[in-house]
Amino acid sequence: MSTEQSDQYVRIGSAEEIRAAAPKTVRVDGRTIGVFHHEGEFYATDNRCPHMGFPLTDGSVDDGILTCPWHHARFEISCGDTFDPFADDVRTYPIELRDDDVYVDPNPGRDKPPEEHWRERLTHGLQENLDLVVAKSVIGLKRADVPYTVPVRIGIDFGTQYREGGWGSGLTTLGVMANLLGELRSEDRPRALYIGLTEVADDCAGEPPFFVQEPLAADTVAADRLEAWFRNNVEVRDSDGAERVLRAAIAADLDESAVAEMLVAAATDHLYLDNGHAVDFVNKAFETLDHVGWEHADSVLPTLVSGLASADRAEERSSWRQPIDVARLCFDAADELPELIEDADGPWEEPDDHLDVLLGDDPHEIVDALTTAISNGGTVEELARTVAYAAGRRIAQFGTSNEFGDWNTVHHTYSYANAVFSLSRRTDAMELYRGVFDAAMNVYLDRFLNVPPIALPEPDGDGDPDSILEELLTCFEVESDEEVDRAGRLTAEYLAADGDVAQLKRSLGEALLREDAGFHPRQNVEAAFNQYDSAVDEERARVHLVATVRYLSAHTPTRRAGEQTFRIAERLDRGERIHEI
């Protein structure tokens, strides 16, 4: 049917023709518009259902409600508002009857700018835990040139308000994804945000909200006393009291380093809280604030308190007490810290046998090596880096033929050591040394997972990097111990052949994001990238990437359900007809 232009309206046919043919589609200004005749009136909508793009003219109109025939999303036909949370509102077009001809305006003004629309939709997707809505929103915000910090901030605002237990794996995953953005392909960045945001929504689903405690009105109390109050409340597991103290400290404008010291001290008063997650969560909360701004500290940091107060304490476990009381070794070493630091004479140089001791089977020697290092001027950053490397070696040499296929245990140690290292760049709190002892002792306790150990790869560097990388990526398509070991060897070979590290990271990021990888692999890759960038030499840097590639390969492939949802959102954004082959 031909169309004729009249002002901004376009003639689409005679009233008689439309009545006879409705519902029908017309193409106007590149748009496919569905035209309906219902109860004596004409209506026009975008013919693509906003849920998944199916044609609305194949649906039905009854009692003023347009229903999509595929997933039964319902829309009020005159304004396009949806009755169903999983579907967006459908766009409607003004329609007029002139001298028995029907005209439509194909370019009506929008009620709100795209950025505002997608911000609202993202909030709605989080509230209803709707992955497809979250994916569409992230893609829409990118198309509107909105900075990545906006969806991160929306996720943080939601996650800190709607989970009674406070900071958890969802918000940590969002922080991990925000940290990884700079390492990823441009087209993978919305995918990373989608993963982080959907994990926040899932973590909050069905949870009671987080009820805020008011800060103490003690605005003239010294920082050291606030820290003592905070630690005492966490010690007796009084999260409400601890939260009030922390909010008072933030309200008193204590600087970031001083607030970090409060949290670090409480998180290390006991050993290896919640398998290392407590310290890792503290670190990720601060790193997330680096993205969204310190002005959000009052809403972010208090959500850590409940986890600190209720955390499992490693010294209560038999493995830390028998047959050797390694918990007592850590506590005794912590008692020596003030004197060791006061008498320290540096700079520290790592002894040739230091790593062998950390990976050895004598916990007394491990503690002695660390206390000697501190007395010789070793900083938390230096010692945490060496312990993180030792933890990375446990993963790089994880024995796939071991009776215990417990990748998570070695991962927890690695993530914990990485958190201690990262926090050392934020605060000079003496208590962080206790985190070094905790991590080192856990490296010792993990030694059974390297029996027998896998030999570290010894690459010759003669291969073609592009071919090696292509072969490496196939390792994530097959679930087998052989592929895990091959992935490690290929990674070492790629780096030895002067392969582009940035390209390797982008490829690993792509492989990670397409999988339903879960919390730990995402943590592991981000920690490995951080440790690679911070390594003191090329060999140690290589081991961190070998370790994380082996870990990722051991956890792939998966069903990739999340990737399927995101690809549907991408195709809808491109205007593809996903219901057609």
Pair type for strands 65-67 and 60-62:
antiparallel
What is the pLDDT at residue 7? Answer: 65
What is the pLDDT at residue 440? Answer: 98
φ/ψ of 533, rounded to 5, equals: -65, -20
CB 42 within 8 A of CB 105: no
φ/ψ of 496, rounded to 5, equals: -65, -25
What is the pLDDT at residue 529? Answer: 98
CB 394 within 8 A of CB 445: no
CB 528 within 8 A of CB 547: yes
Supply the DSSP symbol for 167: S
Pair type for strands 101-104 and 95-98:
antiparallel
CB 409 within 8 A of CB 446: yes
Say how many CA atoms lie within 13 Å of 283 toward its Cβ.
26
CB 277 within 8 A of CB 328: no
CATH for the stretch 4-104: 2.102.10.10
Closest CA to 289 of 482, 160, 452, 111: 160
CATH for the stretch 223-310: 1.20.272
- Dump the DSSP string for 176-221: HHHHHGGGS-GGGHHHHHHHHHHHHHHHHTTPPPPPPPPPPS-TT-
Token readout for 572 is 């809808």
Determine the topology of domain 465-563 in CATH: Zinc Finger, Delta Prime; domain 3 (1.20.272)
What is the pLDDT at residue 1? Answer: 37
What is the pLDDT at residue 299? Answer: 97
CB 412 within 8 A of CB 465: no
What is the pLDDT at residue 403? Answer: 59
Q: At a CB cut-off of 8 Å and minimum separation 6, what does 255 contact?
A: none
How many CB atoms neighbour CB 480 within 10 A? 12
Residue type, position 122, single letter: L
Residue type, position 482, single letter: E
CB 85 within 8 A of CB 25: no
Q: Which residues pair with 26 in a beta bridge?
A: 33
φ/ψ of 76, rounded to 5, equals: -70, 120
CB 146 within 8 A of CB 115: yes
Token readout for 547 is 């370790």
In whole angstroms, what is the distance from residue 22 CA to residue 25 CA? 8
Closest CA to 484 of 514, 519, 521: 521
Q: At a CB cut-off of 8 Å and minimum separation 6, what does 12 contact?
A: 1, 3, 18, 26, 28, 33, 35, 102, 103, 104
φ/ψ of 400, rounded to 5, equals: -70, -15
Q: What is the dihedral of CA 129, 133, 139, 141, to 10 degrees?
A: -80
The residue whose two tokens read 């992230």 is: 138
CB 579 within 8 A of CB 70: yes
Q: At a CB cut-off of 8 Å and minimum separation 6, what does 120 contact?
A: none
What is the pLDDT at residue 130? Answer: 97
Where does residue 572 fall: left (phi above 0), alpha (psi -120 to 50 degrees), or beta otherwise? alpha
Give the residues of the chain that fall short of pLDDT 70. 1-7, 402-404, 579-581
In whole angstroms, what is the distance from residue 43 CA to residue 179 CA? 47
What is the pLDDT at residue 161? Answer: 98
Say whether 416 sits in a helix, a strand or coil. helix
State the sign of the Cα–Cα–Cα–Cα dihedral 313, 316, 318, 324: positive
